[in-house]
Structure 1
Amino acid sequence: MATTSADAASSDRSFFGHPRGLAVLFLTEMWERFSFYGMRALLVLYLTQHFLFGDREAQGLYAAYASLVYLAPVLGGWVADRYLGSRKAVTIGALLLVAGHFGMAFEGSGSRQYIDFGGSSYELVADGRGEDRALQLVTPAGERLPASFSAEGLTILNGTTAGLPAAIPAADLQTRTVQQPLYVQILFFSLSLIIVGVGFLKANISTIVGALYEPGDPRRDGGFTIFYMGINLGSVLATWLCAWLGIAYGWAYGFGLAGFGMLAGLVTFLAGQKWLGGRAEPPNPAALRERKGPLSLEWLIYVGGFIMLLPAWFLVQRDELVTTLLTWGAPIILLGMLGWSLFALRGIERSRMVVALILITFTVLFWTLFEQAGSSLTLYADRNTDLTIVGDLRMNAAQVQLFNPLFIVLLAPVFAGLWTWLGKRGIEPSTPVKFALALAQVGLGFLVLVIGINTAADSDFRVPLIWLALAYLLHTTGEICLSPVGLSMITKLAVPRVVGLMMGVWFLASALAHTLAGLVAQATSSDTVGGVVVDPGAALSNYASVFTQIGWAGVIVGGVLLLLSPLLKRWMAMPPAQADHAMAGESQIGESAAAGTDPRGETRA
């Protein structure tokens, strides 16, 4: 008797009882996440300390980059589904990511900052990286004198011995920054390569994981759990190793290590093609080879991908334009979908779509607060946190982003077991309640930081690390409540004929959240010279003020959603049999996410 493809798939148990292709995808995703989170851990510090961007400019640039990273997969996923297939999309995306991460390592000598007073110009330098940078003023004779800024002006230690005043009032001096235009543009182009690369790769590698299993294969959920282990393993390693190398030895080393990580992922993916069994191939290979003028359709897509680098390069350095487009465009699209749902649908379909759109709207606030990790919280760690772990053991500011993936690895299995235990007793919280708990917890995380600022700051305006760790703990538990069921909620509530469009709306909401996160981060900005904050006390006070506002916003909005949750649950209006099936599916998703998920309900981006 001939062996069917289903029989072959079921008999392939070479990787912990799963298809051996899962090992290929596990390692590919692990190294890809290693590269992405390694770069992310360093990016804002790199912008403020090497290129000497001001806080507002650096955090705006980061927000534009992050927003575009979450918009690009909408187009990339559509191209892969309709034309390229997941395998080819992942390959071209990985190639672009390798180029982008290695491009980040071309840093030049960095920007230079000068102060002008008394008709003369003096260079200010800050040796080192991270929280231990100290300003020095360079005299015409090349002597370096320790200097410090405050709201009152510049103080120069031993300045009088070099013929300089010991103190210069702020009103009598001006600062200016001279950047290296070539290396600034290399930075922007490298970020555009990463944006387009993520667009091709992000949604499609998970598609290949699903394609390894035949419909009804009971191993599918366990396979995604193993896959997500690779995601978080890569995240934990990257935020420790790349951050350590970049701060201790040089930015190029940290970004270079991230690039080698992505290269390892690409090599693994290409070398392991035979184990993927031809899955995730183009839906119509003949059409892909069809010539459209001098090029085939496939090559036209590749050329189009490279052309997309230009708008990505243009937009990543114009955060105000990205913010304007998203803050107007995303709400218009959400309102348009709401209007269509109210007037074009009837009964259960209408109420479910309304619930889905309401919950998507609430997630915008959650991710706006959660995504402070890569911007304002990193600068807070650098400037106002005592990064001592215990004794002489310390971490650097870039490494604090380690807390989130580490807590996910430790706690997601606990939550998955909790949901299952509650579900068997019929008391598992509904999706709206979980979203409300997530909002409350992310808000409480910031209020914990405020308590630390108000009660534990030392004379150097630094707060013990434990308070930041507690904030990340609450943010992570909030993420676990919301993230694993996010996309599941869309697939369950959206009308089948528009479920793809609703996925796009979900990603659009994530992009909007990142641009709003940039506005929040910019509100925490402080004046800096040479990448060193001028007034640490004022910076800490500003953090306390902004964190208080957004913390209470999260808690209050979470409370509002909790009050609305019985109504939303009723609007979901699933028949008993379907509700039982959905609850079981949600518990399975929680188990599948036991090793962690992306902060968008799918693989980490």
Structure 2
Amino acid sequence: MNSAADKTWFGQPRGLTILFLTQMWELFSYYGMRTLLVYYMTKQLLFAQEKASFIYGTYTAMAYFTPILGGAIADRWLGKRNAVILGGSIMAFGHFVMAFEPMFYLALATIALGNGLFLPSLPSQINDLYAADDPRRGRAYNVYYVGLNIGGFLAPLVCGTLGELYGWHYGFGAAGVGMFAGLVIYIAGRRYLPPELQRRAAPAVAAQDARRNHRRVWWLLLGVGIAATIFRGAYEQIGNTLPLWIDTGVDRTLGGLTIPMTWFQSLNPLLVISMTPLLLMAWRRRAAAGRETSPAMRMAIGALIVAAAYVLLAAVAALAGEARVGWAWLVAFFVILTLGELYILPTGLGLFAKLAPQRLGATTVASWFLAVFSGSLLAGVVGTLWSKASHAGFFLLLAGLAVVAAALLWRLDRPIRTLS
């Protein structure tokens, strides 16, 4: 008799659909709040740009630092399922609290704390859905990435429109509803999820050998994490300084109407959804021809593509001078940036999950989010330079950060291939 875990939807375990639908709504809540955050601080709370950028960077950094503790708590005590439910409940409460202006900082802290339990515990269950030799496992993270980006696409359209046109607090409230919807889906679909692994004490000799092997893995993952940190210092500007440029430097008129500034942030997840199937098809053909690209090299290529996207913005901003640039250039930027993102971000998450020591899945995935933490913190610091540099110079700086990340990933490629 087939178990629930053996049943499939769209050729993948049903549990994968439950997991990406859950995180789809979590990402709806996160992107919905993130879409409004800088605008809310500068337009409603009247914070200076430098202060708003620093708070944005600190918040996103802490939202990805708490998973380090949350992953360890999930692996050692709570279990992944309980951690997802508890963390999601705390996050939903924090999103609703965002609707009350005097509780702004408390709301940010609450969301970050809940995220610590939720974030590493959900994607770390993907690996447990597949046997070690299952060929579908390598593509699962890209499929998962498409699913959750549906939430990222809807968030600016729903939360952004509500916040921009009807009031910021309506947008924040909608984000809370999204987080609650994700919790309902996860609880309803628990029978399709992989069972929790029981913790057993390993024999002393086996444990000693495992520690030696794990030490090399951790050092290599640290190198990848440093590269990801540098990369995210550039990438995270799409939610920090780029919205400010969209507001003041982009001509958003179309047929006599003005496109809401928050709508442009739906372009990135929409492109993820539309471009991933084509990219996966191309990668499958390369693999069938024996020319599959290794994970670290694929990530390096992605960082270079993102660098090219920022070079495009630098050139457009320099040529425009004081004039606003056409919104079509912004669309071209997002197409190039998203292509690079698809090379690096799902691949990095999948690499960390693949190399995770047994029974340390949530902790290892949390280590990937540590790079997101440090990269978001770096993005906040880099964002404070927006008002001090020309737009073209700032975009070139971001391109330079992406190139440095690509160089480091290229150097790590050979030692990582020996472990894969």
Greater share of strand? 1
Partner residue, 2:121: 204
1:503 Cα deviation after fit: 4.9
Q: Which of these residues, 25, 28, 37, is aligned with residue 34 of structure 1?
A: 28
* Aligned-partner SS, 1:429: coil
- 1:67 lines up with 2:65 in the alignment: no
- 1:87 lines up with 2:81 in the alignment: yes
Instruction: Give the distance between the partners of 1:12 and 1:450, measured in 2 at CA.
Output: 49
Query: 1:507-549 CA deviation, whole Å, 9 max, x = no partner?
Result: 33321111111111110037xxxxxxxxxxxxxx722221123
Q: Which of these residues, 93, 101, 110, is aligned with residue 99 of structure 1?
A: 93
Contact 2:145 2:346 in 1 (8 A): no
Partner residue, 1:375: 240
Partner residue, 2:264: 400
Q: Percent same amino acid among aligned pairs?
A: 35
Taking a change above 3 Å as real, the CA distance of residues 55 and 424 of structure 1, as seen in their structure-2 partners, is same
Partner residue, 1:472: 334
C-alpha RMSD of the superposition: 3.3
1:491 Cα deviation after fit: 5.6
Partner residue, 1:242: 159
Using structure 1 for the length normalisation, give the TM-score.
Answer: 0.61
1:228 Cα deviation after fit: 3.7
Query: 1:466-506 CA deviation, whole Å, 9 max, x = no partner?
Result: 22222222221111121222144446668889988765543
Contact 1:88 1:281 in 2 (8 A): no
Instruction: Give the distance between the partners of 2:316 and 2:357, measured in 1 at CA.
Output: 46
Contact 1:70 1:507 in 2 (8 A): yes
Deviates more, 1:503-512 or 1:36-45: 503-512
Contact 1:90 1:205 in 2 (8 A): yes
Alignment of 1:27-426 (within 5 A): 27-107=21-101, 183=102, 186-211=103-128, 227-273=144-190, 275-276=191-192, 280=195, 283=198, 355-388=220-253, 390-426=254-290
Instruction: Give the distance between the partners of 1:551 and 1:225, measured in 2 at CA.
Output: 25
* Aligned-partner SS, 2:390: helix
Contact 1:379 1:397 in 2 (8 A): no
Instruction: Give the distance between the partners of 1:16 and 1:33, measured in 2 at CA.
Output: 22
Partner residue, 1:147: none
Taking a change above 3 Å as real, the CA distance of residues 223 and 360 of structure 1, as seen in their structure-2 partners, is closer
Instruction: Give the distance between the partners of 1:416 and 1:28, measured in 2 at CA.
Output: 23
Alignment of 1:525-536 (within 5 A): 525=387
Alignment of 1:14-25 (within 5 A): 15-16=9-10, 24-25=18-19
* Aligned-partner SS, 2:237: coil
Contact 2:230 2:405 in 1 (8 A): no
1:20 Cα deviation after fit: 5.3
Partner residue, 1:435: 299
Partner residue, 2:7: 12
Instruction: Give the distance between the partners of 2:336 and 2:244, measured in 1 at CA.
Output: 19
1:216 Cα deviation after fit: 5.9
1:452 Cα deviation after fit: 1.5
Query: 1:106-141 CA deviation, whole Å, 9 max, x = no partner?
Result: 23xxxxxxxxxxxxxxxxxxxxxxxxxxxxxxxxxx
Code of the aligned partner of 1:50: Q
Greater share of helix? 2
* Aligned-partner SS, 2:238: coil
Instruction: Give the distance between the partners of 1:19 and 1:50, measured in 2 at CA.
Output: 45
Partner residue, 2:207: none
Instruction: Give the distance between the partners of 2:20 and 2:219, measured in 1 at CA.
Output: 37
Partner residue, 1:550: 398
Alignment of 1:423-502 (within 5 A): 423-456=287-320, 461-490=323-352
1:349 Cα deviation after fit: 8.0
Instruction: Give the distance between the partners of 1:30 and 1:463, measured in 2 at CA.
Output: 33
Q: Which residues of structure 1 form unaligned runs of 5+?
A: 108-182, 285-343, 527-540, 583-605
Deviates more, 1:95-104 or 1:413-422: 413-422
1:18 Cα deviation after fit: 5.7
Contact 2:161 2:171 in 1 (8 A): yes
Query: 1:316-356 CA deviation, whole Å, 9 max, x = no partner?
Result: xxxxxxxxxxxxxxxxxxxxxxxxxxxx979x985x76654
Instruction: Give the distance between the partners of 2:260 and 2:188, measured in 1 at CA.
Output: 36
Taking a change above 3 Å as real, the CA distance of residues 357 and 411 of structure 1, as seen in their structure-2 partners, is same
Taking a change above 3 Å as real, the CA distance of residues 94 and 456 of structure 1, as seen in their structure-2 partners, is same
Instruction: Give the distance between the partners of 1:223 and 1:509, measured in 2 at CA.
Output: 21
Instruction: Give the distance between the partners of 1:218 and 1:424, measured in 2 at CA.
Output: 12
1:271 Cα deviation after fit: 4.1
Contact 1:86 1:280 in 2 (8 A): no
Query: 1:13-69 CA deviation, whole Å, 9 max, x = no partner?
Result: 4x4566655554443322222111111111110011000010111110011111111
Partner residue, 1:120: none
